[in-house]
Amino acid sequence: MAKVCAVKKEVNKDGIKQEVCDETRAGLLPVLQEVQDKKGFISDKDMQEIADRFGIHPVEVYSVVTFYSFITDKKEGKYVIRISNCITNEMAGNKNIIDEFEKTLKIKVGQTTKDGKVTLKMTSCIGMCDEAPAVMVDDKLIGKVTPAKVKEIIKGLK
């Protein structure tokens, strides 16, 4: 099957060594997640180099990248705002939140602002149904969002 990829040995805050990267294809997703984190997307060059490293074909990497919602092959904004479209959010009125985001950022859901700072997306249930309507701003979960809070959130994005 796959060939060796560089096994990273990370030392965490307490000085304990951890193996982070798997040597086989099982290490593919962590590598993709890392690249997505650092660069905001997986480029053509990165996909082919990752494929080479794992001894798999580029189309297999492309296939995995296009399967998962949080990994993209197209560049996204510096901040990614995900609005949950879970039924509880709809019931709590997330339409107002969507409208407010679209109005303030001057883009539609699925688009990125012209300065490349913010991408606005819908996403499935994020596990904040008791604090609906809820959004994710990068890794942060924010519940009980109101149109006023939307303005705050956007202001807070540097």
Partner 1 sequence: MSSKPFSENTSRAPISQRGQHRDEYDKNTLGNQVKVVIDDVEIKVPMGCTILEAAQMVNIKIPTLCQHEDLDLAGVCRMCVVEVEGQRTLQSSCSYPIYAPLKVKTYSPKVRRARKNILQLLLRRHYGECYSCSRNNNCELQALAKEYGVGTYKFGHIAEPRYEKDLSSYSVERDMNKCVLCRRCVRTCIDLQEVGVLEAVGRGSETKIATYLDHPLAEVICINCGQCINRCPTGALKAKDPAEEIWAVIDDPDKHVIIQTAPSPRAAIGEEFGLPAGTSVTKKLNTALKRVGFDKVFDTNFTADLTIMEEGTELLLRLKKALVDKDKTVKLPQFTSCSPGWVKYIEHFYPDKLGHVSSCKSPQQMFGAIAKTWYAKKNNIDPSKIVSVSLMPCSAKKFECERPEMDDSGFKDVDYALTTREMAGMIKECGLDLPNLPDSDFDDPLGIGTGAALIFGATGGVMEAALRTAYEIVTGEEVPFKKLNITPVRGMEGIREAAIPIKKAVKDWKFLEGATLKVMIGHGTANAKKIMDMLCKGELSDYHFVEIMACPGGCLGGGGQPIPTSPAIREARARAIYAEDESLTYRKSHDNPIIKQIYKEFLTDGPCGHKSHELLHTHYTPRGKWIGKKK
Partner 2 sequence: MMKKAKNKKIDRSGPVIFSSIEPWAGLNQALKLGRSELLDVVRDSNLRGRGGAGFPTGVKWNLAAVANDEEKYIVCNADEGEPGTFKDRVLLSELSRLFLEGMIISAFAIGAKKGFLYLRSEYKAFLPGLNKEFADLRKNNYLGENILGKKGFDFDIEIRLGSGAYVCGEETALIESLEGNRGEPRNRPPFPVNTGFNGHPTVVNNVETFTAVVHVVAKGANWFKKIGTEKSAGSKLLSISGDCAKPGVYEVAYGISINDVLKMVGAKDTKAVQVGGASGICLAKKDFKRKIGFEDLSTGGSVIIFNSKRKMLDVADNFLKFFEEESCGQCTPCREGIPVLIDAVDLIKSGKCDKAYLEDILSLAETMQLASKCGLGQSAPNALVAILENFKDEYKLSKKPREEKLFNV
Residues that bind partner 1 (CB under 8 A): 1, 25, 44-45, 47-48, 52, 56-60, 62-63, 66-67, 73
Nearer to partner 1, 73 or 131 (CB): 73
Q: Pick left, alpha or beta for residue 82 (phi over 0 → left; psi -120 to 50 → alpha; otherwise beta).
A: beta
Report in angstroms how near the CB of residue 73 gets to partner 2 at its nearest: 13
Q: Closest Cα partner for 33 from 25, 41, 44?
A: 41
Site of tokens 């990497």: 61
Does position 64 bind partner 2 by CB under 8 A? yes
Report in angstroms how near the CB of residue 75 gets to partner 2 at its nearest: 17
Does position 126 bind partner 2 by CB under 8 A? yes
Does position 116 bind partner 2 by CB under 8 A? no
Q: Pick left, alpha or beta for residue 19 (phi over 0 → left; psi -120 to 50 → alpha; otherwise beta).
A: beta
The single-letter DSSP state of residue 109 is T
Contact code string over 78-97 relative to partner 2, x by CB under 8 A: -------xxxx-xx------
Token digits of residue 99: 């409208």
Binds partner 2 by CB under 8 A, chosen from 13, 38, 114, 158: 13
- 3-class SS of residue 157: coil
